[in-house]
Structure 1
Amino acid sequence: MMGFLKLLVSFAPWLSFLIIAHGSLFRLQLGLCVALGLSILMGVLKLHRGIILWVGLAFFAAATVLVVVFKNMWTVQYMGVLANGSLALGTWAGIAIGKPFTADYARDHTDPSLWNSPLFMRTNNIIASVWGGAFTCNALLAWLKMKQLFFSELTFELISYALLIGVAVFTQWYPAYLRRQRAASSAAA
């Protein structure tokens, strides 16, 4: 349960943006400002770190300037695609450079002697890849929703939320599953 709460806290800027920023231009602007403020505060307090911190800071800073200051309607129109695309790009980039964002958080409850082990890195690459897949799917869903293709808006929202909840559950389940597998292998040997 504590791991799930930490996961929620680590995505607090994005979750606040998701909750606040819909329905009107004012709510979008408010959501961007709140998310930017949270990103900065969490970065300073080291509650948020690594590539996801930098993606959030870059995205929310740029989007805030474009939407709040310049009232750029293209950015407003493509906000869902841009937000999810930024998360996807940051996640895949982290994996590509050998720094999956999940490793930054997994280190909080992993023995430092294991941080560079192949199993630790493989596990984090798998979990981060699942997140990257969900963010990529959500970027595609946001684009389809914007173009009003295939489904109702509610259906798009439900699919998007189900993906994120599923990945959050997987993030908690998978390491525990691996620990049980190792324990069973050790007991059998």
Structure 2
Amino acid sequence: MASFLIIAPFGAFAMLMMVTSIAISLFAAAALSFGVVVWDVVRGGSLKMLAAGSVLIFSALGCYITLVDGNWSAVAVRLAVDVGLLSIVLLSLAIRLPFTLQYAREVVDAETSKLPGFMKANYILTWAWAGAFVLMLVADMLIIYMPSLPLWIGFAVAFAARNSAVAFTKWYPQYRRAKYGAAKPVEPLKP
């Protein structure tokens, strides 16, 4: 459920871009992102860098397009959103707090979160998301600089990259638990 809520604003944004204006899509995604922040805080979670950053990205772009320059193409807006998301991910790595860490700490016990492998796993997950966002950026740039390329290719790459990151995020912690799980207790030596 949590992974659905995390990506819901981006899915809503992509879907709305096909049926309504860019500004409406951005503001709806900002409202949904804000709703995710409120839901998370109300249920006792912490304010997450990705969720708060999403509110800022969607709101800022919506305001800019509404008040300053409404001539952006849908692909240019998607490119700006992807750059914003990649910036959040890279910033979280630069300040040594991978954005996945905030989510992971809320679903594991205190002892697990203190393990050295826990931090390593979150770095790996965050780098996987960075890779997904880079692929989405490349797809958007291909559509901008190669206009003869069918638009669906950009959507397919973005969909595949995002869903691959979600699947990896679900699979990798289970893999680590299976591989590095708690050691079996050592039986005392019998005299």
Q: TM-score, normalised by structure 2?
A: 0.84
Is 2:143 the counterpart of 1:145? Answer: yes
Cα separation, partners in 2 of 1:75 and 1:93, compared to 1, 3 Å: farther
1:6-85 residue pairs with structure 2 within 5 A? 6-22=2-18, 26-46=20-40, 49-74=47-72, 78-85=76-83
When structure 1 is superposed on structure 2, of 123-132 and 76-85 the one drifting more is 76-85
Question: How many Å separate the matches in 2 of 1:116 and 1:17?
Answer: 37
Superposed CA deviations along residues 137-170 of structure 1, whole A, max 9, x for unmatched, are 2112111112226742222221221111111111
Identity, % of aligned pairs?
22
Given residue 135 of structure 1, which amino acid in structure 2 is its aligned partner?
Answer: F
Given residue 183 of structure 2, which amino acid in structure 1 is its aligned partner?
Answer: S
Count of equivalent residues: 182
Higher helix share: 1
SS in 2 for 1:73: coil
Question: How many Å separate the matches in 1 of 2:29 and 2:140?
Answer: 19
Q: Residue in 1 aligned with 2:158?
A: 160
1:77, distance to aligned residue in structure 2 (A): 5.5
Superposed CA deviations along residues 43-92 of structure 1, whole A, max 9, x for unmatched, are 22326842212321221111110123334324755211111111111101
CA contact (8 A) 1:130 1:167 kept: yes
CA contact (8 A) 1:17 1:31 kept: yes
When structure 1 is superposed on structure 2, of 75-84 and 129-138 the one drifting more is 75-84
Structure 1 residues without counterparts, runs of 5 or longer: none
Alignment RMSD (CA, Å): 2.4
Structure 2 residues without counterparts, runs of 5 or longer: 187-191
**Which structure is larger by alpha-carbon Rg, 1 or 2?**
2
Superposed CA deviations along residues 102-150 of structure 1, whole A, max 9, x for unmatched, are 1111122101233243211110110010001110121121111122267
CA contact (8 A) 2:139 2:153 kept: no
Is 2:183 the counterpart of 1:186? Answer: yes
1:39, distance to aligned residue in structure 2 (A): 1.7
SS in 2 for 1:186: coil
1:66-145 residue pairs with structure 2 within 5 A? 66-74=64-72, 78-145=76-143
Cα separation, partners in 2 of 1:158 and 1:181, compared to 1, 3 Å: same
